[in-house]
Structure 1
């Protein structure tokens, strides 16, 4: 058994229940919100709306959400804590830095950036920041991070992305806290995660969720990452601008048929509010919310051959094992892939590149 840090305090891993491994409460541009508060509107209304949305998720059967909102995404723990006190859901928050390119300016002339000028190796302050969030709590709130987060997107392994990735890996080695990485599967960025974090920084791939793996329909590539020991984040159900509902669902179905249900976690990457997107565009995504999995995806997959037991594994067992992954014992997620179980009878659905939706 493992104690998992949530906003309201530690929870035993066996009590996490149905867990959505990648959802946000709010995704915000902090400088804009601080200087143009009219965009945000009423704090009370935002909090009330968030509590209502999370209650809907709880009513649908969800018991825990992991919120990987970190520096670069507008993390503000006092607001999250106020919401957590009004909802029965467990909320796991994260520490890390979110960038596709450079590090925030705060880090430009700190840590490794000074190595050449000083002629010596300077420790990266990011590591101490992340470890402090995990061990001591975030910003004096006492809320401890239960997840580490970084990103690598289409630009690939830029110097800034690599610096954050290594800092996350080192904070993991010091604390044992698991990791989620925003990836761009079309660019095969999971391979860079494997090289930098696993081969060079010594992180067990079984402690890493490769986020947004479900953006790809290349099942052979996804299978190779799962075989390498990673957990695949099939976590953007409802975001169907560059793909379709059917493409995401059929990829999930095919991966389960191939025997990878025990190496996948599910989510929607939804939020109560995100200021990155014009409200008119947001209206084009009516399925992008916390209960889309339960209202649409699971019924569709059940009609196409999956079972409720297979969803129980992806929604309950794999998250539990992921948080317990540093321990020995049956079911622990590790870098040694399990033997592939038998797949359902019948022809597999296609797993091809979808046409872009309007």
Structure 2
């Protein structure tokens, strides 16, 4: 039986069960948190709050979350280990990669390709070995191994930094076989840029790639083009209804199921126990943005509008399992 690495160790993919493919535990700005700890507050209270929220999620029957928190999002595995040990009924699968919409972090500016450009030569990108090490050896001496890769492209498009990270992710993927998830901006049709660089030029099979935040658009024809190319569509921001509506997010899933693409969609909320990117007062305008929203409100809506139980199981169980089973270096 194929296995996938979780925070508590490897499990058979059959044990993944109902899986939300894009949920964070914490999203943090590491420099701010380290230098202004009052913003974070009490560590024990934060951990206890996360445990309570994740237990409530598990009580709904969710068995796994894929947490794409990487460099640029404040990944800190020892804290996640503490939480995972207190919520054994929920599997947490973590990622490696780098999150940027523009330039690479300054750490990489004069290393690898950044230094090579200054010297007029070619050098390997240190990101590749870092990502591969997280997958094959574990993260920062914790023994926790990443099970997938994460990068991003947003409205700014394929900037030099975004392209560098994406190509490093592709190389790490080819060495390890770990699948990939990409933060995208479907309003700018950046999924087509992912196809060009990650797949057409770097050789990554689109069937091994989730295009995150595909549910941010209602353009079913564009999503059909991406699904027909083989990609998995991340309908994964349920509850974030500032520039869209609950109905729009749900209706595009209904339409894509009607078109026969339930087997190429995954569902999630992109929620977290705590995110320091947003003023807490703003969160009052997002009352549905939490871990329990899909089960409480989204699934009933989908059922009411013709999505079958078989299609729901496909999106929540079968597609995630296939994603994590479809591995192997090449």
Find the counterpart in structure 2 of residue 185 from structure 1: 186
Superposed CA deviations along residues 193-247 of structure 1, whole A, max 9, x for unmatched, are 1010111111000110000000000000001000000000000000000000000
Q: Does 1:56 align with 2:30?
A: no
Give the whole-Å Cα distance in 2 for the aligned partners of 1:269 and 1:201: 27
Q: Does 1:137 align with 2:175?
A: no
Give the whole-Å Cα distance in 2 for the aligned partners of 1:246 and 1:124: 43
Q: Does 1:220 align with 2:225?
A: no
Give the whole-Å Cα distance in 1 for the aligned partners of 2:252 and 2:120: 50
Structure 2: unaligned runs, 5 residues or longer? none
Give the whole-Å Cα distance in 2 for the aligned partners of 1:309 and 1:178: 25
Superposed CA deviations along residues 25-68 of structure 1, whole A, max 9, x for unmatched, are 00001000000000000100100010110011100010000000
Matches within 5 A, 1:84-99: 84-87=84-87, 88-99=89-100
Give the whole-Å Cα distance in 1 for the aligned partners of 2:16 and 2:74: 26
Alpha-carbon offset, residue 116 of structure 1: 3.3
TM-score (norm 1): 0.90
Does the 8 Å contact 2:22/2:270 carry over to 1? Answer: yes
Q: Does 1:155 align with 2:156?
A: yes
Find the counterpart in structure 1 of residue 240 from structure 2: 239
Higher helix fraction (1 or 2): 2
Find the counterpart in structure 2 of residue 320 from structure 1: 321
Matches within 5 A, 1:94-109: 94-109=95-110
Superposed CA deviations along residues 72-96 of structure 1, whole A, max 9, x for unmatched, are 0000000001000000200000000
Find the counterpart in structure 2 of residue 352 from structure 1: none
Give the whole-Å Cα distance in 2 for the aligned partners of 1:43 and 1:302: 40
Give the whole-Å Cα distance in 2 for the aligned partners of 1:280 and 1:10: 39
Q: Does 1:285 align with 2:286?
A: yes
Give the whole-Å Cα distance in 1 for the aligned partners of 2:121 and 2:168: 18
Give the whole-Å Cα distance in 2 for the aligned partners of 1:111 and 1:284: 43
Task: Give the 3-state SS of the residue equivalent to 1:5 in structure 2.
Answer: strand
Task: State the aligned residue count.
Answer: 327
Task: Give the 3-state SS of the residue equivalent to 1:92 in structure 2.
Answer: strand
Deviates more, 1:304-313 or 1:273-282: 304-313
Task: Give the 3-state SS of the residue equivalent to 2:80 in structure 1.
Answer: helix
Give the whole-Å Cα distance in 1 for the aligned partners of 2:245 and 2:9: 38
Superposed CA deviations along residues 146-187 of structure 1, whole A, max 9, x for unmatched, are 110000000000000000000000000000000000000000
Give the whole-Å Cα distance in 2 for the aligned partners of 1:239 and 1:118: 45
Task: Give the 3-state SS of the residue equivalent to 1:265 in structure 2.
Answer: strand
Find the counterpart in structure 2 of residue 271 from structure 1: 272
Find the counterpart in structure 2 of residue 335 from structure 1: none
Task: Give the 3-state SS of the residue equivalent to 1:85 in structure 2.
Answer: helix
Superposed CA deviations along residues 282-341 of structure 1, whole A, max 9, x for unmatched, are 1111111111000000001111111222111100001001111247xxxxxxxxxxxxxx
Alpha-carbon offset, residue 2 of structure 1: 1.7
Give the whole-Å Cα distance in 2 for the aligned partners of 1:148 and 1:298: 28
Give the whole-Å Cα distance in 2 for the aligned partners of 1:55 and 1:14: 21
Task: Give the 3-state SS of the residue equivalent to 1:197 in structure 2.
Answer: helix
Give the whole-Å Cα distance in 2 for the aligned partners of 1:224 and 1:158: 23
TM-score (norm 2): 0.98
Task: Give the 3-state SS of the residue equivalent to 2:285 in structure 1.
Answer: coil
Find the counterpart in structure 2 of residue 205 from structure 1: 206
Q: Does 1:23 align with 2:15?
A: no
Give the whole-Å Cα distance in 2 for the aligned partners of 1:92 and 1:143: 9
Give the whole-Å Cα distance in 2 for the aligned partners of 1:324 and 1:79: 27
Find the counterpart in structure 2 of residue 45 from structure 1: 45
Q: Does 1:127 align with 2:128?
A: yes
Give the whole-Å Cα distance in 1 for the aligned partners of 2:105 and 2:8: 30
Does the 8 Å contact 2:178/2:327 carry over to 1? Answer: no
Find the counterpart in structure 2 of residue 2 from structure 1: 2
Does the 8 Å contact 2:16/2:91 carry over to 1? Answer: yes
Structure 1: unaligned runs, 5 residues or longer? 328-358
